Amino acid sequence: MSDQKPYSAQNPYQGIVHSQRCLNGAGSAKDTRHIEVRVDGQLLPHRPGDSLGVLPRNNPELVERIIAWLGTADDTMVTLAKHSSPLPLREALCRGEITRIPKTLLDQVAERSSDASLRALADPQATDLRKAFCDGRDLWDVLALLPHGCLSPTELCAHVRPLLPRLYSIASSPLAHPNQIHLTVGIVTWESHGRVREGVASSYLGLRAPVGSSLEVFVHHAKKFQLPEDPQTDIIMVGPGTGIAPFRAFLQERLALGAQGRHWLFFGDQHVATDFLYGDEFSALHSDGSLHQLDLAFSRDQDYKIYVQHRIIERGEQLWRWIDDGAHFYVCGDALRMAKDVDQALHQIIRDHGGMDEDGAKQYVKAMKKGGRYLRDVYAI
């Protein structure tokens, strides 16, 4: 019997980047990467609906700035906040939460500062002021306001917590790709306070994890976001943008199993010419009948905005027939707006085509959730 401990955030598996390519066409405002990670499928079992946890590393340029400000050797041993194991300074800063301003550090800096605007941040009642100051700033922005080296590495790192793992929906089925895990990663960058900022995990995976490099990963198993047990059950999938990832896995799995249930996909993004992620794959599946319905919503290809919820309402009568016949309804992507708008659209088609009033539609959706027929994997973007 193997003594191998289960892989987790505390005991990550070493995956290898097998390949990477950009999914967007030339001229797109977005940079979305398809990343294939080589794994041992027996050591890292997973199924469609699961996520891959990635332990990211910070931008080395930001780490270098902080080390230079400290003016000390990069192999000085330090301990991150709420982390018991000492690490060399450079490694600690690579693994620490340095793209946000630690509250305890801001308190200390504000209390000691001779600058009136900084001292004002020490007021416990100045919640809005502190929020406005921290928004779009990171650890370096605070250190740059202070004399070089006024904090020791030990003092600084005592405020810095370890980076949390980032979860990415797995975009492949182990039946189709037994020793690989595919990811769909949207690289996030923006400008704030005169500097270009990056999403920690997306920039790490997309910009600083070349083919052949090692990644610390683990599988986060979905408890509910799974395919129906009965392969004859129809499925409706709503996944705009990178929310498409698990549905690529769903389709690969169902096709590998020879599932008889029908498949309906709603996808949306900005422009069909540049942002139809995996467009060739899904178009081919639609053409050969494996993907029975494919509805697209590209928001900026016309004078008015079209989103997936609009397509859902347009297709309401047929959608209701699928749902009333027992189809499972899945949503993946932006929790803040998209998922709420899709939920409202679902309620609307149940009212309009199911002959129910508002309360009846609410009870119907509630029963769908309770019966495992309305499942969501949504997150803040």
Tens of pLDDT, residues 228-269: 999 999 999 999 999 999 999 999 999 999 999 999 999 999
Q: Taking residues 84-94, what's their average pLDDT? A: 96
* Among the four given CATH numbers 3.40.50.1000, 3.30.40.230, 3.40.50.80, 1.20.120.80, the one describing domain 235-379: 3.40.50.80
Q: Taking residues 108-124, what's their average pLDDT? A: 85
Predicted pLDDT at 2: 56
Residue extents of the structural domains in the chain: 13-55+165-220, 60-157, 235-379
**Band of the pLDDT at 1, cuts 50, 70, 90?**
very low
In this model, does residue 3 exceed pLDDT 80?
no
* Among the four given CATH numbers 3.30.110.60, 1.20.990.10, 1.10.600.10, 3.40.50.720, the one describing domain 60-157: 1.20.990.10
Closest CA to 204 of 100, 13, 56, 98: 56
- pTM score: 0.95
DSSP letter for each residue of 16-83: EEEEEEE-SPTT-S--EEEEEEE--TTTS---TT-EEEE-----HHHHHHHHHHHTS-TT-EE--TT-
pLDDT per residue as tens digits for the range 359-374: 999 999 999 999 999 9
Q: What is the mean pLDDT of the chain?
A: 96
Q: Taking residues 134-145, what's their average pLDDT? A: 94
Predicted pLDDT at 202: 98
Residue 99's φ and ψ, nearest 5 degrees, are: -90, 5
Predicted pLDDT at 112: 79
In this model, does residue 338 exceed pLDDT 90?
yes
pLDDT per residue as tens digits for the range 5-53: 899 999 999 999 999 999 999 999 999 999 999 999 999 999 999 999 9
Fold match, 13-55+165-220 / 235-379? no
Question: Residue 2: CB partners within 8 Å, gap ≥ 6?
Answer: none
* Among the four given CATH numbers 3.40.50.10470, 2.40.40.20, 3.10.110.10, 2.40.30.10, the one describing domain 13-55+165-220: 2.40.30.10
